[in-house]
A and B are shown apart, each in its own frame.
Chain A
Amino acid sequence: MADHSVEELAPTPGDRATRFLKRADVKQTTLFFIFWTALFVVLGIYFYPKWMPTIMSVEMKSAEKIMIWFTVISAPIAGFVLAVATTAFMNRHRGDTPPPDGPAIRTNGPVVAVWTVTSLVFALVAIIWGLTEMNGQAVAAAKDAKSAITIEVRGSQWVWTFNYPAQGIETHELNLPIGVPVIFDVKSADVNHSFWPVQLGVKVDANAQVTTVIHTTPDKLGPIDVKCAELCGLYHAYMETTGEIQSASDFDAWVTAQGGHKA
């Protein structure tokens, strides 16, 4: 960030830049900038994948990608802000009297302009990224709609139940076949709930009288958790159940065991 209040103006912009870069506080800020940027990059890349549960759908993958990449992209901005703050902190003044006055920099047009444009570009990246992902998911859902199985999810205070109309079964556990698109028609028997099959990375509220819909396609075998993500009264915390993403044959066997039939 160029600073135009250097006491004596150097003859050429090149000289000014060189002189600027040689300043002690500029060097210090640069070091802190590298440190903080690296720290945020590492935090994003290391912690989120470590913390998040198994990724079992495209939707979950895109949530994780956003969390990691937005951290990485914003790391230099965060790094810069924190670097300037840290440099100031390092050059702090102690004692019971105020420090001597600093340079009277009222503003700096180019800095403000560059800063504003940078944050605009950053906001646009976030917006375009999000819209592209949303669009991709919507297109995929529309394409998959024909081959999808439909599950009617019902939230009642404080138990989830799942109706598989094509299979003719109703359960309190959510088992799904791998690789088959699934449409959840979500409804509530009473207050608002939020249907959250955790590892599938999708979520939608359950409301009385209206059906809300979400789509996903499980792409990994294994157990899943189903939770309620909207405070729904006394036993909201216990409104959880489990399920499993199964191979086609295991799923059929499970349906039969529940008293249903192949769709």
Chain B
Amino acid sequence: MSTLDKAHTSSRPVPNPKRSLITRLHMGTGVVVGIIFAALVYWALKNSLLTYTDKVADPLSPHDNNIVLLGAMFAWSIGFMAGIGAFIGPWRWLIGKDLTDEEILYLAGDGQGTKRYFKYCTDHKVVGIQYLVGVMTLLGVGGTMAMMIRTNLARPGGHFITATVYNSLVGLHGITMIIAMIIVATGPFGNYVMPIMIGAYDMAFPRLNALSWWVLFTAIPVLCSAWFLGGIPTGWTAYAPLSIQAGPGMNAFIATIIIFAVSTAVAGANITTTVIAMRTKGMKWNRVPIFVIGSTISVALAIPAFPTFMVSMIMTALDRTYNTGFFDANMGGSGWLYSNLFWIMGHPEVYVILIPGVAALMEIVPVFVRKPLFSYNAAIMGFAGIAGLSILVWAHHMYMAGWAPSLNGPFMVTTEMISIPTGLLFLVLIGTMWRGKPWMKLPMLSVFAFIWDFMIGGITGIYLSDVPADSYLHGSMFVTAHFHFTLMGAALTGAIGGLAYWYPKMTGRMLHERAGYISFWMVQIGFNVLFFGMFMAGAEGQPRRVVDYAALFRNSNLISTIGAYSVGTGMIILLWAVIHSWTKGKIAPMNPWGAKTLEWTVPYPVPLTNFDELPVITSDPYGYGKGK
């Protein structure tokens, strides 16, 4: 930080530490080193380790292959990070020659134009844009897979693709979207906007920030490699022992999760530290913008949650490679152990996804209604309550597992209790709207869509959490429809609202409005049609994750597929609007929405250290309104 403070002069030269290695490294060198290292490890393991297992006992043992593939995948990730220069800093520190000020400034990427987006750049605004592009890519890939799934299910018979490909599509669509949704708001906005919102020069650990993005980046090719290794048959939940039985594609899934967990741990530590330690003068906790509160609670919840996913994947990998039998009942292990570890992550995880999306909308409503946020305290209590309860509800995913039927009651109690903090979130949104005249711009439309979608998701969640109803609905399409209403209808809608809202600050231009409206209505109407059909299929008794279904479900599935095509078309239009407006949109004024949070007080392009002089805060940013 001190370096940046020093560098903080009105006219500074572009740093150019000529002889330093860091100037020569970028994404390309990362890819090259990553591939070379992966190939080396692949070759080494293939040629030496293969003799390790007992060929006589099991000549067809697939375990060697798993070791080789996992080794190569992790080697790619580590090699890439080395090749892009992630380890230079720690290494120089280790040998007592820490980076010079000039080198640190170079890493911040000031004045390097587009090039810096492909480098190990420590500027939080660059990382934010990298995350935004990354998220859109993941959503595009996951969305394409969703279209394949719905096309196959358009009519009974499963004629479009075979079961192998379909099962892989279901699992890879799931995990791609889950990863995308975990970072969809905290990635782009948490990195780009949040440090400005709290009045900080940068994140607390700029190099960790770059690390979190590039580590995540290395997971993407690993995940894609699953397609070329025979796919995965397990769905994104990767339940053992099916995951132990699965083919080599499963290694890609395991490696992706482990790499992704490293990335979220680093990002979570960074964001929480930044918000705790780097708020500007006068920004007491009760003056912090609600989006910052929401994102912080979300990542703070992710910090304890994701390690259990990572652990469960390491154990799966060990079961698959060294026959450790953690999850194999025939060896004294238990598949229920996996389900528990998975859902101890899995339920907090859905709130990790949801909270930043809601928080973004809470940031938006006061600005567009020109009223203070209604009951800031209720919003915080809502987020904190959800976060607290969410770590106590995991086994509601296992009501029908037969694991501990007598625990169903207690877990039902905690699960139903979540409706109380969730209700507070609704109260904050509608309380802010009450007696206001909402300004109908794109971000505000998302708020209305959120209220409708999350209402449906919430009510259906109430039956699912009641054991006697879940005993019919569990594992059916009804569940799929429910969680799409909460994750897509609520969290993704919130993130799209956030994108429309912060787009002018991130690109300097306004998002194309008419395309935004067309996309909004196509997506929202299509979405509701799509999942109405899926509620119907589920209530009729169609299991989820099926490549084919009985003729009884013909109509409901056709409705879903028609809705899905509308969503897909709407999303392509939104993508066009984002790409087109980035270079050709209307130039945005500094504060197009007339908001009072700090990010709107800085010009575009945002200076390297955000503020010439750190602002002093005297009130919260919701001082709208007349009277009182």
Contacts and interface: CB of A to CB of B under 8 A. Distances in A.
A129 B462 CA distance: 12
Contacts of B594: 98
Contact of A237 (B158, B335, B375, B466): B158
A112 B378 contact: yes
Most-contacted residue by chain A among B377, B413, B472 (CB, 10 A): B472
A63 B378 contact: no
Contacts of B102: none
B245 A93 contact: no
B323 to A, nearest CB: 15
A126 B543 contact: no
Contacts of A191: 239, 241-242, 245
Interface in A59-92: 59-60, 62-64, 66-67, 70-71, 74, 77-78, 81-82, 84-85, 88-89, 91-92
Contacts of B452: 82, 85
A94 B437 CA distance: 9
Nearest to B242: A191
Given A106-B372, A192-B241, A237-B549, A229 B475 contact: yes
A14 B328 CA distance: 69
B401 interface: yes
Interface in B131-160: 158
B468 interface: yes
Nearest to B399: A203
A84 B625 CA distance: 19
Interface string B437-479: 1111000000010011001000100110111110111111000
Interface stretch (B108-116, B418-426, B565-573): B418-426
A183 to B, nearest CB: 13
A205 B402 contact: yes
Contact of B430 (A81, A198, A202, A205): A81
User: Which interface residue of A48, A93, A102, A134 has the most chain B CB atoms within 10 A?
Assistant: A102
B546 interface: yes
Contact of A63 (B368, B468, B544, B549): B468
Interface residues of A, number: 95
A210 B369 CA distance: 58
B617 interface: no
A40 B611 CA distance: 50
A9 B433 CA distance: 22
A225 B551 CA distance: 13
Counting contact residues on chain B (CB < 8 A from A), the size range is 35 or more
Contacts of A100: 370, 437
A62 B471 CA distance: 10
Nearest to A126: B416
A133 B466 CA distance: 10
A112 B375 contact: yes
Nearest to A55: B472
Contacts of A89: 438, 448
Contacts of A234: 163-164, 167, 233
A133 B463 CA distance: 13
Given A5-B628, A99-B437, A227-B541, A105 B419 contact: no
Given A84-B434, A186-B402, A70 B459 contact: yes
Contact of B475 (A70, A108, A127, A230): A230
Interface stretch (A115-123, A243-251, A255-263): A115-123
Contacts of B524: none
Interface string B542-566: 0111111110000000000000000
B548 A213 contact: no
Given A70-B469, A133-B467, 7 more contacts: A52-B540, A107-B378, A119-B420, A126-B416, A126-B462, A131-B409, A191-B241
Interface of B: 158, 163-164, 167, 170, 233-235, 237, 239, 241-242, 245, 328-330, 335-336, 367-372, 374-378, 400-403, 408-409, 412-413, 416-417, 419-420, 423-424, 426-427, 429-431, 433-440, 448, 451-452, 455, 459, 462-463, 465-469, 471-476, 536, 539-541, 543-550, 593-594, 623-628
A-B pairs, top 8 by smallest CB distance, nearest first, are A212-B402, A104-B625, A229-B475, A237-B546, A209-B329, A119-B423, A63-B472, A51-B539
9 contacts: A85-B430, A88-B430, A102-B626, A104-B372, A107-B377, A112-B375, A119-B419, A134-B412, A233-B233
